[in-house]
Amino acid sequence: MKKIHFYIALTILSITFIGWNNLNVDTLEPKNDDLIEKKIDSLLAIMTIEEKIGQTVIYSSVEDVTGPILDKNYTTYLKNGQMGAIFNATGSAFTRKLQKIAVEETRLGIPLIFGYDVIHGYKTIFPIPMGEASSWDLELMEKTARIAAKEASAEGLHWTFAPMVDISRDPRWGRIAEGAGEDTYLGSLIAKARVKGFQGDDLSNKHTVLACAKHYAAYGAAQAGRDYHTVDISLNTLRETYLPPFKAAVDADVATFMTSFNELNGVPATGNEFLLKDILRDEWNFSGFVVTDYTSINEMVLHGYAENLQHAGELAMNAGVDMDMQGGVFKNHLKTAIDEGKVEISRLDEAVRDVLRLKFKLGLFDDPYKYCNEAEEANIILHKDHLETARDAARKSIVLLKNDNNILPLNNSKKVALIGPLADDQFHIIGNWAAKGDRDGTAVSVKEGFEAQNKSFKFAKGCEIEGGDTKSFKEAIAVAKASDVVVMVMGESERMSGEAASRSNLKLPGLQQQLISEIKKIGKPIVLVLYNGRPLNLSYENETVDAIVEAWFPGTSGGHAVTDVLYGDYNPSGKLTVTFPRNVGQVPIYYNMKNTGRPEDAEGAHSRYVSKYIDVENSPLFPFGYGLSYTSFSYGKPVLSNQTLSNNQPITVKTTITNTGDRNGEEIVQLYIKDRFGSVTRPTKELKNFKKITLKKGESQTVEFIISAENLKFYNNNLEFKNEPGDYDLFVAGSSNHEFTNSFTLINN
């Protein structure tokens, strides 16, 4: 077949379509939306069905894999114009090579989109998302996403499969590490910040990438915390808890969505018209494209929702999926489905239009190689400013869970025994889903952090993360004996969280607890620093050690950040965005649970017949919103501008916070409200606002929050989002665990 170069074809057809008179140079800007649609019309008019289907297909390269590779022939499909996008292909040189095939060797020369999981940094790795969320610092999260986009786009990438905005309340689920935690309000703000960070204001800016809100929807509610498992929740819970972060991403103009692996109330998300059409398109007016998660179309057969692959493809396309990731179902079966009248060609055209629109917006039709620039790549990757931000992000993400007798911060004169399988680690420290982060050399371990700051310490590994034996205990015990204080860096391996990494046991793995108990016998104070991708069961550690520093997986500059915190060069300010249970039996446990008719503390109830366990109390070990500082803060009673609130008259609540300790510090001031009763029962409390403030020692600041009737809306039994007149309680505090201190009434007006 005679090869028609795309640019020539497009120019001719655009001219034919819009006419010479309208061909004004200004309107050729890719930002001109009408012109883009006209160009797409022209393009669609010359595309064969096969070429159209090609735009709905994405395959992984085999150079880097993030799931099972069913089909390795991606270069053949690329040459045949059977692929519109590719993932797991990175680097200026490699992406340029593949783009050249798409542009020069296919009939229409339509450029490819290059996608990748840039979850918490690209080469400079920031703390895992759940860790970074503990900073409650939206500007910081926008900034780290921007840096990730800058580094990724310098390596030829246009699209990240992030942010993951799944709310999860189940620490057994390994993917809790990738999200923002258990709270919908906070999670929605973080979703927005991350989308803005990745995408910036202009998709054609070569330092931004398309973001992808995933995994749509309710993936974090997998039964028993087992990955990919069934989700069966009420529509109220779906709307109120799981969907708002996705809506927030749409409001922030997120370019793409990814469907989730799970079924939702009997219908797999990838074939779910209610989610993909009714809500996403019709209610939220999403105008980007929807990609499936890895082979999730194919999986609809195993879910028992599709008879065979062709049927699965029909269900997905008809439900509103625009791009098939890795499964080859659209490539192999969509044409037959269209020929048989099972899928309308107009639906395929819609999908192709959505994909092409973003290619225009990225500026790929102007310059398909604009993101492949080796010189820029070398300048941008691991830039020293990025590493500095990584250190700052890691410090701000650290949560001080315990600090008995102010054992921390450490005094420089103390001799430290640095012990534990993660103390000298550069591999696990960057966590799971760490894109192109180096696992051997770039990241700074705690040991290196200590060395860089000339701390007086001796190191002994003591044990492995998992398994192993006790033979290295001896050396660790000797080192501990010769010290003034022991710092143990322990936790999970990076593989123990992330995808397909659910755990049924939330304790420290291997012999780590045993090593703690041996060191404890020596009688020296113990500081435990933790790397982990989920809330762990720290009941034993909490009883045994003197201080606990939750560092998550802190990323490339993690060792510096941990050192800064341990020695007080940074005063910790992070607060948990997930609840830490006392044991795995309490799971799911989260701060905004319902009260039940027989709460544990119900007045007059027979103590046996209340909603509790007989072997553990109901309260968590560490609640949502909790985190200590090296200073202390006192909160004044919240003062309301009015005791009544109406639909058009908001009120303000003011609270004065004082730094009562002897160090400067930051505090995350949180406002919680409780609706006393409703036509649908309401949670015992809900986070409604927060502010991070900096207070010098002795300083006070009055923080003001506005409470409007809008903040009090919820989904009633008719799934209407409304508020209801009545009494509400509130408190302002540094944790979700607090008594109510004031109240107000919402009146009908």
The residues that touch ligand BGC, with contacts defined as CB under 6 A, are 66-67, 117, 161, 214, 293-294, 499
Contact 90, 118 (CB under 8 A): no
Q: Which is nearer to ligand BGC, 240 or 293 (CB)?
A: 293
User: Taking the complex as a whole, how short is the minimal distance between the CB of residue 258 and ligand BGC, in angstroms?
Assistant: 6
Question: Based on the number of CB atoms within 10 Å of its own CB, is 229 exposed (0-12), middle (13-18) or buried (19 or more)?
Answer: middle
Which residue lies nearest ligand BGC, judged by its C-beta? 66
User: Taking the complex as a whole, how short is the minimal distance between the CB of residue 95 and ligand BGC, in angstroms?
Assistant: 16
User: Taking the complex as a whole, how short is the minimal distance between the CB of residue 680 and ligand BGC, in angstroms?
Assistant: 32
Q: Which is nearer to ligand BGC, 262 or 711 (CB)?
A: 262
d(CA 456, CA 668): 33
Kindly state the helix (H) or strand (E) to which residue 748 belongs, with its residue range: none
Q: Which residues pair with 125 in a beta bridge?
A: 121
Active-site choice (137, 170, 293, 322): 293
d(CA 299, CA 262): 10
User: Taking the complex as a whole, how short is the minimal distance between the CB of residue 231 and ligand BGC, in angstroms?
Assistant: 15
User: Taking the complex as a whole, how short is the minimal distance between the CB of residue 161 and ligand BGC, in angstroms?
Assistant: 3
DSSP for 301-364, written as a single string:
HHTTS-SSHHHHHHHHHHHT--BEESS-HHHHHHHHHHHTTSS-HHHHHHHHHHHHHHHHHHTT
Contact 547, 407 (CB under 8 A): yes
d(CA 80, CA 82): 5
Cα Rg for the chain, rounded, in angstroms?
Answer: 27
Q: Which is nearer to ligand BGC, 60 or 736 (CB)?
A: 60
User: Taking the complex as a whole, how short is the minimal distance between the CB of residue 331 and ligand BGC, in angstroms?
Assistant: 17
| Residue 411: DSSP 8-state | P
User: Taking the complex as a whole, how short is the minimal distance between the CB of residue 70 and ligand BGC, in angstroms?
Assistant: 13
How is residue 122 written in tokens? 């690209």
Question: Based on the number of CB atoms within 10 Å of its own CB, is 637 exposed (0-12), middle (13-18) or buried (19 or more)?
Answer: exposed
Q: Which is nearer to ligand BGC, 132 or 293 (CB)?
A: 293
CA dist 86 to 19, 116, 227, Å? Answer: 35, 9, 25
User: Taking the complex as a whole, how short is the minimal distance between the CB of residue 214 and ligand BGC, in angstroms?
Assistant: 6
User: Taking the complex as a whole, how short is the minimal distance between the CB of residue 296 and ligand BGC, in angstroms?
Assistant: 8
Q: Which is nearer to ligand BGC, 6 or 116 (CB)?
A: 116
**Is 512 strand, coil or helix?**
helix
Among this protein's residues, is 293 annotated catalytic?
Answer: yes
Contact 98, 540 (CB under 8 A): no
**Is 141 strand, coil or helix?**
helix
363 φ/ψ sector (left φ>0, alpha ψ -120 to 50, else beta): left
Question: CA 491, 493, 496: angle at the middle one, nearest 5?
Answer: 105
Q: Which is nearer to ligand BGC, 293 or 322 (CB)?
A: 293
Contact 102, 82 (CB under 8 A): no
Question: CA 42, 44, 49: angle at the middle one, nearest 5?
Answer: 155
Q: Are strands 263-264 and 324-325 parallel, antiparallel or unpaired?
A: unpaired
Q: Which is nearer to ligand BGC, 137 or 293 (CB)?
A: 293
Burial 463-496 (b: 16+ CB within 10 A, else e): bebeebeeebbeebbebbeebebbbbbbbbbbeb
Q: Which is nearer to ligand BGC, 270 or 723 (CB)?
A: 270
d(CA 547, CA 553): 18
DSSP for 661-714, written as a single string:
SSS-EEEEEEEEEEES--SS---S-EEEEEEEEEE-TT-EEEEEEEE-GGGG-E
User: Taking the complex as a whole, how short is the minimal distance between the CB of residue 141 and ligand BGC, in angstroms?
Assistant: 19
Contact 166, 175 (CB under 8 A): yes
Question: CA 66, 322, 152: angle at the middle one, nearest 5?
Answer: 45
Q: Which is nearer to ligand BGC, 292 or 655 (CB)?
A: 292
Q: Which is nearer to ligand BGC, 58 or 280 (CB)?
A: 58
Q: Just list the catalytic residues.
A: 293
